[in-house]
Amino acid sequence: MDKLSEMNVFVAVAEACSFSGAARSLKLSPSAVSKQVTRLENRLATRLFNRTTRQVKLTESGQVYFQRCVEILAQVEDAEGMLAGFSSEPRGVLTVSCTADFAKYCLLPIMPLFSARYPNLTFNLRVSGASVDLLAEEVDVAVRMGRLKDSSLIARKLCASRRVICASPDYFSTHGKPQSLEDLHDHNCLTMSSAPAFNHWALSTSLGRQTIEVNGNFVADKIDVLHQHALQGGGLVRLAEFMVESDINQGRLVSVLDDCNDEVQDIHAVYLHRLHVPAKVQAFIEFLLTHLPIPCL
């Protein structure tokens, strides 16, 4: 029997002034209670109770021990109650990692609603283009785009976003619109230096799915920079639909090759463990599932 259990039995006997009374409250037999108290006294080498056939009273040593046990058991109960609060109510600090574009276009617009719903939760956002180590960097949830690598992390699909090839009306008025995969060779395509895979555009053609490595006269290491340059008429760019949907709806950008540009990028929330998921993590993921401005294709 562990020490806390012994303390609990001892306190129950002291408060009831009776072994049988303590046994009833603890749902144990009187003999089991008596054995635990005797074991405790032997371990401490101290008599804690004076016993007669009619009375059970604390000794002087027992009175001192009783006060400390009450304090210790109360602290244990407070600690467990605090953890119960964390598991049942979102609170504390929620650390989330995601890309800058996802943060700007998807997460930040809905964060005021999330913060209002969970006022006891502090949101710590870490913007990174790289996949972070959740355990080493103490990240609760990471939002990852595209195909996930095999790992021990738990993944929950949040939504999916198409890739859209687009440019400004001014660019198309000068250079015309591409009608096929081959036409892209004749256009100025904006590329990324930090992600070579970004510059390989896959399209469905009459010969099946084909990939072309595009190029142009403007290279940047941030997606948002390419987005802004495309808005200024700098060239063709291929971006997630959630980044350019508003621009297309308002005529600032025009999409092309929609019939053959059918690539979809899944977006997942990943976290460390399936069991005993903290309430703050559960709340955040459920919030994203219902409030992200992206359909789950």
Q: Are residues 152 and 277 in the same domain?
A: yes
User: How many domains does the chain contain in total?
Assistant: 3
- Residues of the domain holding 272: 92-160+266-291
CA–CA dist 193, 129 (Å, integer): 13
Q: Are residues 193 and 46 in the same domain?
A: no
Side chain identity, residue 258: D
The distance from CA 105 to its chain's CA centroid, rounded to whole angstroms, is: 18
Q: Are residues 167 and 255 in the same domain?
A: yes
Phi (first) and psi of residue 127, to 5 degrees: -95, 125
Q: pLDDT tens-digit profile of 149-162?
A: 767 788 888 988 88
- DSSP state, residue 234: -
Share of the chain above pLDDT 70, in %: 94
Q: Are residues 66 and 134 in the same domain?
A: no
pLDDT interval class at 109 (50, 70, 90): very high
Tell me whether residue 296 is in a domain: no
For residues 152-183, b (16+ Cβ closer than 10 Å) or e, as one string? ebeeeebbbbbbbbbbbeebbeeeeebeebee
Using the structure block, give the residue that is written with the tokens 């009608």: 179
Q: pLDDT tens-digit profile of 234-278?
A: 999 999 999 999 999 999 999 999 888 877 888 999 998 776 788
Whether 145 and 102 have beta carbons less than 8 Å apart is answered as yes
CATH number of the structural domain spanning residue 97: 3.40.190.10
